[in-house]
Amino acid sequence: MSSSVTTAVKAATLDKIRQALQDRPAQIAAAKQRGQKVIGWLNYFVPEEILLALDAVPIRVGTGGDEQLVDIGARYISTKNCVFVRSVVGLLGEKKDAYTPLLDLLAVDASCLQVFRLAEVVKYYFKYETAILGVPRSFAAPEGREYFRQELRSFTAELEKFTGRQLTEAKLNSAIELLAKIREALRYLYEYQAQDYANLSWREVFEIVHAGFYLDRAEYLKLLQELLAELKTLPVDKNKIPGLQPRVFLTGSQLSPGDVKLINIIEDLGGQIIGDDLWTGLSSYLDIQVAAPTVDALADGYLARVPHAALPYLDISTDSRIKKLKELLQKFRAQAVIDHTLRYCDPYTFKAGETKDILNNAGFPFLEIHTEYASSDIEAIRTRVEAFLELVRTRNDVAGGI
């Protein structure tokens, strides 16, 4: 079955978000002129709160889906690194996009060690200034917590020196509040999209979430709030037919801006994506509780959330990442799970088999798609996704829909 993914009535705020993105590089260039530093960051534990409180402009670095950048990156970093990492090395080396030439510094945390290696490589070959935030392997132990507090303190001191600004409690507090509101708005967006007749396609959700990697965070919050208010006023999308359009949840390796291959296939085949726990999606916006406007409290808040799969936790049956995933599947009424793993993404690929067993036992059909940024596997993926969605539809028929 094929279906249109064009929404019935378009949210006008989407165009405003697209326009804001068009305007953003020039805004950042002007901020640089005024003396603000532009800090690109990668991975999972870099707190944007610190960057904002130091008057820096944060950019979440990294695009996907571009095979050419992967090839360029592979000239500098081993081909045994995931395609995302190779592609980002290519991006940072080429500097042909709108944002990379504006970067003053690259901040990286050492959760996924492939990204840590990326930082070393781009510092060596392309002379990027870098700041590295250590992440404890023993993330659940008290000594791990203490280590991360200390790491974040020295990371903050390094950035204070680099930006020439002093961290104040008042500035940290407003950054914490601003980001908490953005996370809340994004959680609402996901809840909206999990409804049967939601008026956005997942491609649009993907675009909206990723706009927050670049836009001024206060402006982004305003746009998100406007969008959420607008969505309430739009009529339901009658193109969506619950049951016929299996409710698919995405998990696994990140899907970065530009990496739309899998999303296009699922939506073109009539699957309704209703949520994800990707670190480029909902995961980054879940469960960060910061108890006080201090660096230590920030460290505790970031460390306590669902851990990145790259951190060692060998007993998958008690892994809080899987526990959270199951909670989200229930909450969003998922009918099926597609696990997207990128080539040479060991953290997620290695865990895919066990994740499948656990979710199958919990009653969720599960499909693993192992891919890269080349277009050569599109047809093979399409065939597998099509068969999987048919299976879920048949299951829905038998169950009388969920």
Residues that bind ligand SF4 (CB under 6 A): 82, 84-85, 112, 114-115, 253-254, 310, 342, 345, 347-348
Interatomic CA distance for residues 32 and 55, integer angstroms: 11
Structure tokens at 265: 């296939």
SS3 state of residue 257: coil
Interatomic CA distance for residues 283 and 90, integer angstroms: 26
What's 272-297 look like in SS3? EEEEECCCCCCHHHCCCCCCCCCHHH
CB 120 within 8 A of CB 42: no
Instruction: Select 240 or 340, whichever has its Cβ closest to ligand SF4.
Output: 340
SS3 state of residue 313: coil
Instruction: Select 310 or 359, whichever has its Cβ closest to ligand SF4.
Output: 310
CB of 36 to ligand SF4, least distance (A): 28
Instruction: Select 82 or 295, whichever has its Cβ closest to ligand SF4.
Output: 82
Instruction: Select 104 or 346, whichever has its Cβ closest to ligand SF4.
Output: 346
CB of 400 to ligand SF4, least distance (A): 38
CB of 108 to ligand SF4, least distance (A): 11
Return the bridge partners of 60, or none.
Answer: 41
Nearest Cα to 50, choosing from 162, 155, 182? 155
CB of 46 to ligand SF4, least distance (A): 14
CB 302 within 8 A of CB 283: no
Instruction: Select 130 or 173, whichever has its Cβ closest to ligand SF4.
Output: 130
Instruction: Select 203 or 370, whichever has its Cβ closest to ligand SF4.
Output: 370
CB 24 within 8 A of CB 215: yes
CB of 279 to ligand SF4, least distance (A): 7
CB of 389 to ligand SF4, least distance (A): 25
CB of 286 to ligand SF4, least distance (A): 17
Query: What is 124-146 written as a DSSP string?
Result: HHH---EEEE---SSTTSHHHHH
Query: Residue 160: which residues within 8 A CB-CB, separation 6 or more?
Result: 54, 166, 167
CB of 244 to ligand SF4, least distance (A): 33
Rounded to 5 degrees, φ, ψ at 323 are -60, -45
CB of 128 to ligand SF4, least distance (A): 17
Task: Give 59-62 contacts, CB < 8 A, sequence gap 24+.
Answer: 59/28, 59/99, 59/102, 59/103, 59/213, 59/214, 60/212, 60/213, 60/214, 61/88, 61/91, 61/92, 61/99, 61/100, 61/103, 61/106, 62/87, 62/88, 62/91, 62/256, 62/257
Interatomic CA distance for residues 120 and 227, integer angstroms: 39
